[in-house]
Amino acid sequence: MPELVEVRTEGMVLNMGPQHPSTHGVLRLLLRLDGEVIKSCTPVIGYLHRGMEKLAEHRTYVQYPAIIDRFEYLTAMFTGVLYAMCAERIAGIEVPPRAIWMRTLMLELNRIASHLFWLGTYLLDLGANGLLFYAMRDRELILNLFEEVCGARLLYSYACVGGVRFDNPPSFERHVREFLKIFLDRIRDYESIVTENPVFLERVQEVGCYSPELALQYAVSGPPLRSTGIRKDLRKDQPYLAYDQVDFAVPIGTKGDTLDRYLLRMAEMRESLKIVEQCLDRLPDGNIRVKLPNVVKIPAGEAYLALESPRGEVGAYMVANGTDKCYRLKLRCPSFNHVQFLPVILLGERISDVMAIFGSLDVILPEVDR
């Protein structure tokens, strides 16, 4: 009788990143592979650590909003506004209504810009390079709007404690309306290239599925959470700024796969357009910031506030102690949780899908590493 011999195969360890064309900045994934199937995955982060939290303890409330933009450079508006809101909440500063509406407007424009960037790079991750340029072209339009208002395209330092730093130039409203007019067409263009494309559908349908329970356990937020059908959107749940006064919907997905996350982001861009339009219509006149002393001191207190950024719940936990610098600032960033979640959902997937899944979470590494 022939003896049964067990064939021993060896797994392969693949170091994906930090030098890899598509690791979204600098992430290193230690993959253990069996053929092309992933047996285990260990993310290694920290290549972009800049000590944002330590810096917060050494910079005043006036200085830090200029620095916090670097925390997450694709959605710099959000982090700046978040920091300012925390300080205002602790100090009980009332922000003028114009600043509130301007912030809302800018956040939504920034959301569209961020989703566009995601769309382009995600399709690039999947191997299509045409859409990247279209998405970047249209993101440029938004960046131009930002540049017009605050003079910078990426790192705006727009919000400050007590309001916003720059008022709109007279041409701003007209330019935003022009953008709104053309952008719906542009979304239709993207969808005609992507949404029904069989190759795209093959790549994203039923890929990277996870259950809502799992997502909640790992504190996943934003589109990756909503794709599983949980309607958690802080703009609705804990309305901040002017979100309780504007009309918009929060779409959710049904299956929790990569396709849902794509569809969600496309739908969110449309909703954001609606919000931008309402903000423009209802933008009140008046001051853009309250007059604060040159040295802003925030009384002792603590607050945890969170915004719904394009990537999910970006939060700041600020502890103030009555001086002009905060005692501790903890930045809670959605990408950190999403990278932590990655090994869980990558198990058993193929190496070709690593980027399809990782990209669909819309992780940005500076935010993870802070």
Considering only 30, 62, 280, 290, the residue that binds another protein (CB under 8 A) is 62
Considering only 63, 73, 180, 274, the residue that binds another protein (CB under 8 A) is 63
2 vs 92, beta carbon nearer another protein: 92
Considering only 54, 281, 347, 348, the residue that binds another protein (CB under 8 A) is 54
Question: At 14, phi and psi to the nearest 5?
Answer: -120, 125
Q: Which amino acid is at 83?
A: Y
Tokens of 83: 């920091």
Residue list 132-161, contact with another protein (CB under 8 A): 132-134, 137, 140, 147-152, 155, 157
Residue list 91-130, contact with another protein (CB under 8 A): 91-92, 123-130
42 vs 245, beta carbon nearer another protein: 42
Assess 34 for contact with another protein (CB under 8 A).
no
By rule CB under 8 A, what count of residues binds another protein? 112
Question: At 242, phi and psi to the nearest 5?
Answer: -105, 20
Residue 260 CA, chain-centre distance (Å), reads 17
Assess 263 for contact with another protein (CB under 8 A).
yes
Write the DSSP assignment of 191-244 as a string of letters: HHHHTT-HHHHHHHTTSS---HHHHHHTT--SHHHHTTT----HHHHS--TTTT
Considering only 58, 94, 182, 348, the residue that binds another protein (CB under 8 A) is 58
Q: Which amino acid is at 162?
A: G
175 vs 282, beta carbon nearer another protein: 175
103 vs 261, beta carbon nearer another protein: 261
Residue list 278-307, contact with another protein (CB under 8 A): 294, 299, 301-306
Across 78-222, where does the E strand assignment appear? 159-160, 163-164
Nearest alpha carbon to residue 231 among 222, 240, 239: 222
Burial of 298 (0-12, 13-18, 19+ CB in 10 A): buried
Considering only 36, 178, 244, 281, the residue that binds another protein (CB under 8 A) is 36
Assess 259 for contact with another protein (CB under 8 A).
yes
Query: 40 - beta bridge partners?
Result: 32
Q: Which amino acid is at 242?
A: A
Question: What mask, x for binding another protein by CB under 8 A, covers residues 180 to 219?
Answer: ---------x--xxxxxxxxx-xx---------x--xxxx
Question: At 104, phi and psi to the nearest 5?
Answer: -60, -45
Q: Which amino acid is at 255?
A: K
Question: At 33, phi and psi to the nearest 5?
Answer: -110, 145
Assess 18 for contact with another protein (CB under 8 A).
no
Tokens of 57: 């303890």
Tokens of 332: 């809670």
Half-sphere exposure of 27 (CA within 13 A, CB side): 25
Considering only 237, 284, 347, 348, the residue that binds another protein (CB under 8 A) is 237
Assess 79 for contact with another protein (CB under 8 A).
no
CA atoms of 294 and 292, how far apart (whole Å): 6
Considering only 182, 184, 249, 347, the residue that binds another protein (CB under 8 A) is 249
CB of 58: closest distance to another protein in angstroms?
5
22 vs 97, beta carbon nearer another protein: 22
4 vs 231, beta carbon nearer another protein: 231
Question: What mask, x for binding another protein by CB under 8 A, covers residues 327 to 366?
Answer: xx-x-x---xx--x---------xxxxxxx----------
12 vs 347, beta carbon nearer another protein: 12
